[in-house]
Amino acid sequence: MNKSLISIWGICSFVLLFSSCDKSKENNDPCQSDFDQNAMFTNIADNIIIPDYKTLSTSLDEMTNKIQLLIEAPNESKLLDAQSSFRETYYNWQRVALYSFGPAESEMLRENFNYFPANTSQIDQRILDNDFEFNQIESYDKGLPAVDYLLYGIGGESNSQQLDFINQNQSSLELYFNEISFMMNESLQKVIQDWEVFYRDQFIENIGTAEGTSMSLLINNFNKQYELIKRDKIGIPAGIFTLNIPNPTKVEAYYSQISSHLALGALQACWDFYLGKDLQGNNGLGLDDFLKEINVLKNGHSLDDLIQSQFSESFASMSDHPIPLSSNIGEGQTNAQIESVYEELSDLVVLIKTDLPTALCISITYVDNPSDSD
């Protein structure tokens, strides 16, 4: 055979062999998985996000109506009704808090609903001055934390003291409640409308792993919300970041004393999202199914099993402290039991912030708080 032909054949054989090896490597790459992202996004949008927003909307409307009835003619029964609907609304907020992207980001939903702890001196001053112009986006005198203070704390520790204060300040309180309720409702209705009219379809079709894809948005906001639970709901009040000096007034919902209940609700919402589970407990496609599809292992163990096991440990640890978190935190130095809750929560961070994004080829892009790597 002609030497030139032999040489050409050799080059072609090498190229074919190299291409074959490269293709084999690509087929084994989890970033190129055939997992049906569209189906998972459809489940998350149609069965979790949109229904959870609507559930929050229903409870917000009920809370607003009951508070208006209370202010118009204050009595013990109406106060208890308003407080009950407030607790339900605050719990329902925990279900949607981790979806702070897309319409929720545009409408500044978290800023309008739940910047805590409440700035009570600012709230007191607004009522004194009859000033209800909210010019600052990131203020701590509106949303559910403000309602927490206005229904449970502004008049004193007892319901009779609250009723006395409402009777004496009906006009100002009516204006205050109307304004903060309006801001919450307006932003929430716009978020729901945007999801239903156009964002749902964009979200479902936005597949891939690059920054800005739906998978990237979900993983980043999942981690961001989880670390808010760990840091803001537990770590900061417990004194983890203040030389073990507790800050019990910095818990979420300090005045209604439902901070433990809210923290558990937020943790459950994160776990349900990971599983693709809706509010009724129906289990659809979620991140757990993605990890199983690509068979991700860590130290010889299923990463999905490790994540679910640590979710379970964290939930059990937090559930062991049902009394008001502010009381359990105590004073003087960090409560060892609360510190153990924080440590259990921290053990999940590496799994969901490092191992999970790496397995799914997602980059963590949100700006870290210095404590986030703890």
Backbone angles phi, psi at 121, to 5 degrees: -65, -35
- Alpha-carbon distance of 209 to 331, in angstroms, equals 46
Domain ranges of the chain: 32-200, 207-374
- Reported as half-sphere exposure (CB side, CA atoms, 13 A), residue 14 has a value of 6
Amino acid at 108: M
Calpha distance 23→178 (Å, rounded): 62
Determine which helix (DSSP H) or strand (DSSP E) holds 189, and give its type and residue range. Answer: helix 170-194
Give me 236's structure tokens: 């900061």
**Fold agreement (32-200, 207-374):** yes
User: What average pLDDT is seen over the chain?
Assistant: 90
CATH code that applies to domain 32-200: 1.20.1420.20
The larger pLDDT score, comparing residue 373 to residue 130, is at: 130
- Assign 137 a pLDDT band (cuts: 50, 70, 90): confident
38-69 confidence digits (pLDDT tens): 999 999 999 999 999 999 999 999 999 999 99
Gap between the Cα atoms of 180 and 122, Å rounded: 14
The confidence band for 25, taking pLDDT boundaries of 50, 70 and 90, is very low
**Which H or E run contains 301?**
strand 301-302
pLDDT score recorded for residue 58: 98
In the predicted structure, residue 24 carries a pLDDT above the cut 90: no
pLDDT for 2: 45
Predicted TM-score (pTM) above 0.85: yes
| Domain range 207-374, CATH class | mainly alpha
Q: What is d(CA 313, CA 105) in angstroms, rounded to the nearest whole number?
A: 31
pLDDT, one tens digit per residue, over 3-22 is 443 343 343 433 333 333 33
**Distance set, CA 56 to CA 42, 95, 288 (Å):** 20, 8, 26
Confidence of residue 358 (pLDDT cuts 50, 70, 90): very high
